[in-house]
A and B are shown apart, each in its own frame.
Chain A
Amino acid sequence: MGTFEAGTSQLLALAVAVPILGACLMVAVTRLARLVADSVATAVAVAVAVIDGWVLVHTGAGRVVLWHGGWLPVRGFSVGVSFVGDQFGAGLALLVAVLMAAALLYSWRYFEAVEAHYHALMLLFLAGMQGFALSGDLFDMFVFFELMGAVAYALTAFKIEDASALQGGLSFAIMNSLGAYFALFGVGLVYARTGQLGLPELNRALVGHRPDALLVAAFVLVSCGFLVKAAMVPFHFWLADAHAVAPSSVCVLFSGVMVELGLYGFVRVYLVVFRPVLPGPDITRAFVVLGAITAVVGAVMCFGQRHIKRLLAYSTIGHVGLFLMALSVLSPDGVGGAAVYAVGHAGAKGALFLLGGILLNRYGSVDELELFGRGRRHRWTGVAFVVGALALAGLPPFGTALGKSMAEESLASAGYGWAPALFVAVSAVTGAAVLRAGLRVFFGVGPPPLGSGSGATPGTEEPDVEGRLTRVPLTMAAAIAALFGVALVGGVWRLVPDAVDRGAQRFADGTGYAAQALAHVPAGPTRALPGGWWGVEGVALSLASVALAVVLALGAIYLSRLPDAVRAWGRRLQPGYRVLRRLHSGHIGDYVAWFMAGLAGVAALVGFPLR
């Protein structure tokens, strides 16, 4: 393999091949004993995590490049297909593998009746996400996008006798496939203009190119395709439906990494391929606005839910909006802040989904109102749930708080002075909704809530486990503890934000990406950025959003005892909320119509400034 760090680069291929082989083994030996299936699947996920970790360590010195089949570029020209692992790609792949290991550990006694299908699907899902994170080729990104999509649809509708699981799976599948086809259409247009598919080759081909209509159309199509997976408003409708019905262990991956992979694909393709053509400030303006809308819609819808998993799903939409805003700044500090935030969010949200799963398996329901006070006996589960809610709102020293303050700082210095206020509000509202549910269910705080007045989807759902769970098994507790560890790591171990900052500088350098992949040019040096650690202002804003979350949660619980003036103000907001809720109709035709409208909107935001 010539001078391309032969040993380490081969590992990139293994990160995809190992889980696929594991899945084949599961399917081939269908009558595998349950314990063997569980152990082998978890071992595969851990092995992939080790591979990713090894690659990640090596990316510090430069990107790890693999040209499949030894089709190396000659004088900067290539006919091969590449995998390129930089800190962000390999780091995201590592996060995927760690979350997958935790999810498999949690499901150790899940679905007792099933054979190894579940494990095979999970491992294929892992392979698809690994490939998407590491791929250096636009068409391969589409293929891995659809691989992880197709497996995810099957996992969503895994409870095949549950009517809502089928409906959620179907909406998810149609929306995401449609997004993938639009992305492929964009890939076809880029290929028509340049004759290239590899990200490094495309970067070279488009430097100095004029931003003509064809390239703008291609960018809009590819971006919107990936942003369907990232659940940007108005492409977000499928997310709540799918998350509400998928098994809890699968939701950890959906919320923690799959949605973020959509954002990663969008930003990666912009930074490497389209940045030479489309000016950064226009893109920043367009997607900061779209991210803000996403964040507000997610937060408002989140607060109105009573189905706990659906509530968590809408909170993911709120947070994804915040990530999109920070990423759109396109500077290393914005991208780095979003990454630290996303890692913390993945851990906290994953742990909350698993705690919700415990509720479902013990009481056969995830309805906040129906379960009022019934979780009182399970203090530790309750305490963990409340801590998770506060972590989501941005409690120091969780990584969410540090990432949030880094993102706020970068947006403010990019001229969006209102962004920190929005960050505080959105994280407080989503945290408050989760906190409200936790206090009601586990601690019976406040007056018993009145029936189903709100009209939100009730939390009736088929449990994942046969027979009711009487106590929390050690494996489930260990998975939840591991996810809390993920939520904490960014905020307590200084190495993580520092490494992310350095990785972000390389991630933002599309020219360097092309030069290293095609011509062995060593990666440029990275430097430590100022402000990548806890500061007074960041901690103060984090504590403000936690305090606001507590106030909002208690306000919602003790609504009847609030002064009349406050309640009248709340009633005035009701009609707006009702309209917003009615838009989330669960109807696939509506979702597709919104997709078309969103596509036109993005095209207008990106295209008009170029005229």
Chain B
Amino acid sequence: MRYYAFFVAGWLLLIGCLGIVRSRNLVHAVAALSVCQSGTYVLLLAVGFQWKAVAPVFGNTLPTNTPVVDPVVQAMTLTDVVVGATVTALLLAMAVQIAKRQRTVDPDELSALEG
């Protein structure tokens, strides 16, 4: 059980890559890229996780020696989510524009750049 989350993180990263490799639709490829990124979220959160620890918010009630999960990786994950949202939005906008210009979103049929 200790390693399960790490296994899931690696799996998401690789299956996302496979998704892009086998993609027949650019929107699908962009979604597959997001799956890759989800792998990094899972990894980061798993790194900072502890059994029986609580959320890292020290108010008036929580004694300072209580074990908490690592807030650093949570901050990293949030940053990562913001980056991912930006990139995904930009990529989807490009996919829409490609569909308008080329009347297709199949990577196999895009051939403006070869060699």
Interface string of A376-407 (1 = CB under 8 A from B): 00000000000000000000000000000000
Of the residues B29, B33, B90, B115, contact of A154 by C-beta under 8 Å: B90
Of the residues A173, A192, A241, contact of B90 by C-beta under 8 Å: A173
Q: Does A25 contact B (CB under 8 A)?
A: no
Q: Does B2 contact A (CB under 8 A)?
A: no
Q: How many residues of A contact B (CB 8 A)?
A: 55
B39 touches A173 (CB 8 A): no
Of the residues B20, B79, B113, contact of A164 by C-beta under 8 Å: B113
B98 touches A166 (CB 8 A): yes
Q: Does A181 contact B (CB under 8 A)?
A: yes
Return B11 CB to nearest CB of chain A, in Å: 12
B110 touches A191 (CB 8 A): no
A596 vs B112: C-alpha distance when bound (angstroms): 24
Q: Does B97 contact A (CB under 8 A)?
A: yes
Binds B, one of A111-119, A291-299, A439-447, A584-592: A584-592
Number of A-B residue pairs, CB cutoff 8 Å, is 132
A160 vs B17: C-alpha distance when bound (angstroms): 27
A192 touches B47 (CB 8 A): yes
Residues 550 to 601 of chain A near chain B (Cβ within 8 Å): 581-582, 584-590, 592-593, 595-596
Q: Does B56 contact A (CB under 8 A)?
A: no
Return B71 CB to nearest CB of chain A, in Å: 11
Interface string of B51-71 (1 = CB under 8 A from A): 000000000000000000000
**What is the predominant secondary structure among interface residues of chain B facing chain A?**
helix
Residues 140 to 176 of chain A near chain B (Cβ within 8 Å): 143, 146, 149-150, 153-154, 157, 160-164, 166-171, 173-174
- The residues of B that contact A595 with a CB separation of less than 8 Å are 17
B94 touches A173 (CB 8 A): yes
B76 touches A146 (CB 8 A): no
Interface string of B74-113 (1 = CB under 8 A from A): 0010011001001100110011011001100001101111
With A154-B90, A592-B20 given, is the CB distance from A584 to B114 under 8 Å? Answer: yes
B112 touches A188 (CB 8 A): no
- The residues of A that contact B90 with a CB separation of less than 8 Å are 150, 153-154, 173
Of the residues A150, A166, A191, contact of B87 by C-beta under 8 Å: A150
A250 vs B112: C-alpha distance when bound (angstroms): 20
Of the residues B9, B39, B94, contact of A170 by C-beta under 8 Å: B94
- The residues of A that contact B87 with a CB separation of less than 8 Å are 146, 149-150, 153, 173, 177
Interface string of A214-257 (1 = CB under 8 A from B): 00000000000000000000000000110011000000000000
A589 vs B107: C-alpha distance when bound (angstroms): 8
Of the residues A143, A244, A582, A589, contact of B83 by C-beta under 8 Å: A143
Return A120 CB to nearest CB of chain B, in Å: 15
A161 touches B101 (CB 8 A): yes
- The residues of B that contact A192 with a CB separation of less than 8 Å are 47
- The residues of B that contact A162 with a CB separation of less than 8 Å are 101
**What are 29 sample pairs from A and B whose C-beta atoms fall under 8 A apart?**
A143-B79, A143-B83, A153-B90, A163-B112, A166-B101, A167-B110, A167-B112, A170-B91, A171-B113, A173-B87, A173-B90, A174-B20, A174-B29, A174-B33, A181-B33, A185-B9, A188-B44, A188-B47, A191-B44, A191-B47, A305-B115, A456-B115, A581-B115, A585-B114, A586-B110, A586-B112, A589-B23, A592-B21, A596-B17
**Chain A: residues with CB nearer than 8 A to chain B?**
139, 143, 146, 149-150, 153-154, 157, 160-164, 166-171, 173-174, 177-178, 180-182, 184-185, 188-189, 191-192, 197, 240-241, 244-245, 304-305, 455-457, 581-582, 584-590, 592-593, 595-596
**Chain B: residues with CB nearer than 8 A to chain A?**
9, 13, 17, 20-23, 26, 29-30, 33, 36-37, 39-40, 43-44, 47, 72-73, 76, 79-80, 83, 86-87, 90-91, 94-95, 97-98, 101-102, 107-108, 110-115
